Amino acid sequence: IVLTVLIVLYAGIVTYAYWRTTVAVVDATLERMAETIASVIAPDISGAVDINFPQDFRDRAAGPAAGGTYYAVWDARGQLVDASAGAPVPPVSPPVGTSSRDGLREVSRLGPGNSRILVGRPLGPTYAAVRSLGLRVAVAGALVLVLSLAGGWFLAGRALDPVDRISRTAGAMVTGDLAARIPVADTDSELEQLARALNGAFDRLQGALDRQRQFTADASHEFRTPLTVLRTEFEWALRRPRSEDEYRATIVKAHKAVHRLTDIAERLLTLARTDQSTTSAGVVDLSVVAVEAIDMLRPLANERQVTLEAALEPAPVHGDKSTLAEAVANLVSNAIRYNRTAGRVSITTRVQGGEAQVVVSDTGVGISARDLPRIYDRFYRADEARNRDAGGAGLGLAIVKEVVERHGGRVGCTSDPGAGSEFTISLAAAAPTT
């Protein structure tokens, strides 16, 4: 619509300007001729006039050869003195000036001795020329309009094609097809970049949903094992009267199962809290955290005949003490539990290159290269049978990773299967407090 209005306006302005210019040229020609006629008029005292046209003036300047131009001259008394053959002369001389009448353009002026001169010309040919120009401009405008519409249609179709693909994929995802991806053309347009970015986001979304599903399945599975123990133990005890020793054995097994359930629930709760919590901004010295972890876990180390060694330098970081303490304790506890009898665990804290570090190394069973990338996954255990015995649910390192990454740091592990492992937590060091 805007284009149509613009083209119509353009055609109108061009045609009108052409019309004005052509009429101005006609006027100038008529003025010149009136001037020429005025120059050959000789008045006399009685008010009559004499006109001495040059040779051929009538034939050259008026008639069909001159585009139908005509003239008329009145003397001072209003008597028509001369007029070209067939001139549409008005009954009285018109007022001085330029005027149009019945498709005629006329110039009227005063001549010598108060005579009146009228020169005119039919505007028919001028009208025809303007009409023809207007028609050509209109046809050209219509062509431009059709071409623009076709081009616009084509370009809009091409430009909107990715949007169409994106909305179709989004529609498929809404109806449950989470594997749907936007087909991406091999160009670098902004919309293809958007499509690629969206596909990346969909991948991550699907990954997160898959992990969530896996997590729920794993969690249910972890709860089911101790619950099954509880049910079978109670059913066995209730089936008929048992001896006191048998009841005691049942209670011990039930107690162990309940202990395991509580442990899993508490660790899941810790993970959920770590997921949501923002770290508080206090300064925590990792060496103090390590001392507390060592004190807490010394009985476990003694029980497993593992020696704890510590080399602790101040290592202040900004963060939340209780979650950091849990992370360090988890590393030390793993180092003790996955150690060999009479093994060693050494805990080091230090500041190195602007990073505060906790390094926990052990002389234990180590972790195979196959397991190494997966040990931080929730519920992942390198060796199910052995680790179920060791009591873990596969959540300890998930908590460590979550806590450390929440604090903007990272946790790394190097391991020599059969010889031992070394876990390192690195966090940005805080300026030491005085």
> Can you give the binding site for ligand ADP, defined by CB under 6 A?
330, 334-335, 338, 362, 364-367, 375, 380-383, 387, 392-398, 421
Q: What's the min distance (Å) between Cβ of 364 and ligand ADP?
A: 5
Q: What's the min distance (Å) between Cβ of 291 and ligand ADP?
A: 20
CB closer to ligand ADP out of 287 and 334: 334
CB closer to ligand ADP out of 263 and 313: 263
The size of the chain, in residues, is 434
Nearest to 85 by CA among 101, 109, 65: 65
CB closer to ligand ADP out of 29 and 330: 330
Q: Return the half-sphere exposure (C-beta side, CA atoms, 13 A cut-off) of residue 9.
A: 6
Q: What's the min distance (Å) between Cβ of 216 and ligand ADP?
A: 18
Would you say 113 and 76 are in contact if contact means Cβ atoms under 8 Å apart? yes
CB closer to ligand ADP out of 391 and 432: 391
Q: What's the min distance (Å) between Cβ of 295 and ligand ADP?
A: 20
CB closer to ligand ADP out of 250 and 361: 361
Q: Shortest Cβ contact with ligand ADP: which residue?
A: 392
Instruction: Name the packing angle between helices 286-303 and 321-337 (round to 10°).
Output: 30
Nearest to 425 by CA among 293, 278, 295, 327: 327
CB closer to ligand ADP out of 84 and 330: 330
Structure tokens at 311: 């080399």
Nearest to 118 by CA among 174, 70, 154, 159: 70
Instruction: Name the packing angle between helices 2-39 and 124-174 (round to 10°).
Output: 170
Q: What's the min distance (Å) between Cβ of 317 and ligand ADP?
A: 22
Rounded distance, CA 58 to CA 70, Å?
9
405: helix, strand or coil: helix
Q: What's the min distance (Å) between Cβ of 413 and ligand ADP?
A: 8
